[in-house]
Chains A and B, each alone.
Chain A
């Protein structure tokens, strides 16, 4: 069964450092997403990406965040200058349609900012 894969599974970084989280979406999917879940809290939408551009972003996705699909397979989330409150599980997801359709999540990248 095709799946969304994410790397790294866990990263510890110092406050102020840049972090890149990587995702390989399911190959025939066209819509890509990043969500995050702070420990003990709900899953929150960050950004969606379609046709090589951001289609939607939440208020959480501020200037320190960026996404890219550099090579047609990887989908990356960059956090430019990490803060303690960025510590969370970051989930990548992909889907075939933009809405009303199932999206599939990767296993997540656990980011710890110290």
Chain B
């Protein structure tokens, strides 16, 4: 089983749509969770950390379900500029490995 698994997409949505991405992780003792955004041939950029209680930042809402080992990202009112690959990232500290583990990413294309 992959450590961090995401639907690769692409998700093609019209401007203004709401879109949700899901991610599952294999290590139940993982402690830190993030969503990064990556534009084509660019570096990953932190979009938001994901907290147990869920958190929101403007149009973006992240949720964590530890029991199901599942993380989600909701984007409301999609903009053309939201087109990118969204990376689910997990820190699996209990394995002794503190480096971040990346999912393969979900590609979003917002269309006019």
Contacts and interface: CB of A to CB of B under 8 A. Distances in A.
B55 interface: no
A45 B45 contact: no
Contacts, number: 50
Most buried by A among B45, B93, B99: B99
B98 A48 contact: yes
Interface stretch (A12-20, A67-75, A100-108): A100-108
Interface stretch (B11-19, B20-28, B71-79, B102-110): B102-110
Q: Give the dominant DSSP class at A's interface.
A: strand
Contacts of A56: 97-99
Interface in B25-43: 31-32, 34, 38, 41-43
Given A99-B93, A100-B91, A91 B43 contact: yes
A86 B104 CA distance: 19
Nearest to A45: B99
A58 interface: yes
B104 to A, nearest CB: 4
Contacts of B42: 107-108
A67 to B, nearest CB: 13
A108 B43 CA distance: 6
A41 interface: yes
Given A42-B103, A100-B32, A100-B91, A105 B43 contact: yes
A107 B102 CA distance: 17
Given A43-B44, A48-B98, 14 more contacts: A42-B87, A43-B38, A43-B102, A45-B101, A56-B97, A89-B41, A91-B43, A99-B31, A100-B32, A102-B46, A104-B46, A105-B43, A105-B44, A108-B42
